[in-house]
Amino acid sequence: MSQGFRIKTSPVRRAFLVARFAAVSVLAFAVVVAVGYLSGASGLYRLTPGGPATHPITLVITVWLGFAMLRVSPVRKVDGAAHLLFVLAAGLALLRLLEMIVLGHPLTAAGPLFGAGAGGSQHADQLGNTGLNTLVTGLLIAAGQLLRARVPRAAMFAASIAPVSPLVAVFGYSFGFEHFHGEMSPITAGLLLPLSLVGVMSFVRRPMLRPLFADSAFGRGARMEILAGFGFPWLLGQILAHQEVRETSNTAIQSAVMAMFAVTVVVIKTRAHAVTEMQRRSSVRALQAAAATDQLTGLANRHGAKARIDALEGMRPVGVILADLDHFKEINDIWGHAVGDRVLADVARVLRGGFGFGETVARWGGEEFLVVLPGCDLERTQAVAEQLRSRLAALPGPSGAVGEVTASFGVSERHAAEDTLEHAMHRADAALYAAKDGGRDKVMRNGCAGCSAGAGTAIAPQRLRDRGAAV
């Protein structure tokens, strides 16, 4: 229940819901603007008399982008319908740019839909041309989504700079400037700024933005820094504008640039922190694994085995096997420690051969090994120990002969509710000593009867010395 609640209220989920709400709001706002065109109510598409108006072509581009953004998801590719709408919006913006830059005059028109109801061609002329910054913003928004799957870095860059022009306009109008260089209709800015931010939020799964939406103290702090990155430049611009320290156009542009720069710094800093944190965690995991692993055999060491054994405390039955190599000191003395290390590695490979019980195999110390078998009773544990004894006895020894590497085994089981694994291991240890006293190379359980059929076949130290001398 709690995990599902965290998923529903995660920052990524909230960002996705906010993006959907913003796209729906833009479309609703566009409907209001269209009603102004059709009814001749100029106040719905031009907020101030004589000020910049939202052109019908801008409205069409915005509506296409709005419907397309409703189908965008951070975890899915852009589907066919959204792709078509983005292509249409980008194509119309490019055509309008071609008219303005190359030909110097417009070929497209608002069309009869927006001309007749608003006073005919005379009213259409009053709308003026679509602003260059408006077209570039629409083109960047569309390009950010069209390139997202194939060129994600270029797509994210396009989406990231798309809010700049609308932000300049919003800052300028909030400072009380009605006319300034690079001006954009306030209605157009109100339509394009949310859409551009929705485009940016579609990249929340990318490595650069993902840390910003982490449900952690650092993620929450980064989001607060972004709000401050927009808030402080805006506040500084308000002060400069009212004191007339700067020209109106420069104040709006500089404030917006400062805000974008501050946000960029926060994003880069957050990403750098995330990379550093991932490296730190990877190093910690590597150190923890190294601390819990025997470097010679690759098995768990005593520390690592205890952590796994503690997790089995409530399970019953649990089989315990303790194995100790016979005459291993003589192998080291006669053949050298390098050969002894190789023997230990060979024994470890046999012990971790796998029996399907989810067993824990560890080097318990020196030439002693521990095998813990969850869900395995005493009879099955003894059978497993006998298989291991037989496999070890069949290993080629230091001279290449079979029978030079053997082990004695002690077996026990934790079965009663009041019993503990520690007590079971003590019983297995007692059984191991009984196997040693009984001639080695055998399996004993609970320190009493239960010898294997192969008992007493371990090669004596003198025979090992004779073979070493012969070699």
Taking Cα atoms as reference points, which of 363, 374, 370, 386 lies closest to residue 319?
374
Q: Which two tokens stand for residue 141?
A: 């928004």
Regarding beta strands 407-414 and 443-445, do their DSSP bridges make them parallel or antiparallel, or are they unpaired?
A: parallel
Give, to the nearest 10 degrees, the angle between helix 132-146 and helix 56-70.
20
What would the DSSP string read from start to end of 324-354?
EETTHHHHHHHH-HHHHHHHHHHHHHHHTT-
Q: How does DSSP classify residue 397?
A: -
| C-alpha distances in Å from residue 335, one per residue of 106, 295, 331, 341, 460 | 94, 21, 6, 10, 15
| C-alpha distances in Å from residue 166, one per residue of 35, 55, 99, 442 | 23, 15, 22, 83
What would the DSSP string read from start to end of 151-169?
-HHHHHHHHHHTTHHHHHH
Residues in the chain: 471
- Integer Cα distance of 322 and 32 in angstroms: 81
From first CA to last CA, the distance across the chain in angstroms is 69
Residues in contact with 34: Cβ distance below 8 Å, sequence separation at least 6, in sequence order: 59, 114
- Integer Cα distance of 347 and 340 in angstroms: 11
Tell me which amino acid residue 203 is. F
- Integer Cα distance of 12 and 4 in angstroms: 14
- Integer Cα distance of 163 and 159 in angstroms: 8
Q: How does DSSP classify residue 1?
A: -
Specify whether 367 is catalytic.
Answer: yes
Q: How does DSSP classify residue 103?
A: I
What would the DSSP string read from start to end of 402-471?
BTSS-EEEEEEEE-STT--HHHHHHHHHHHHHHHHHTTSS-EEETTSS---TTTT-PPPHHHHHHHHHH-
Q: Which residue has the tokens 């919003």?
A: 170
Adjacency order of strands within the sheet including 443-445: 360-365, 368-374, 318-325, 407-414, 443-445
CB 138, CB 89: distance < 8 Å: yes
Tell me which amino acid residue 368 is. E
Annotated catalytic residue within 367, 386, 404, 413: 367
Q: Which two tokens stand for residue 230?
A: 């927009």
Which residues are tagged catalytic?
Answer: 367
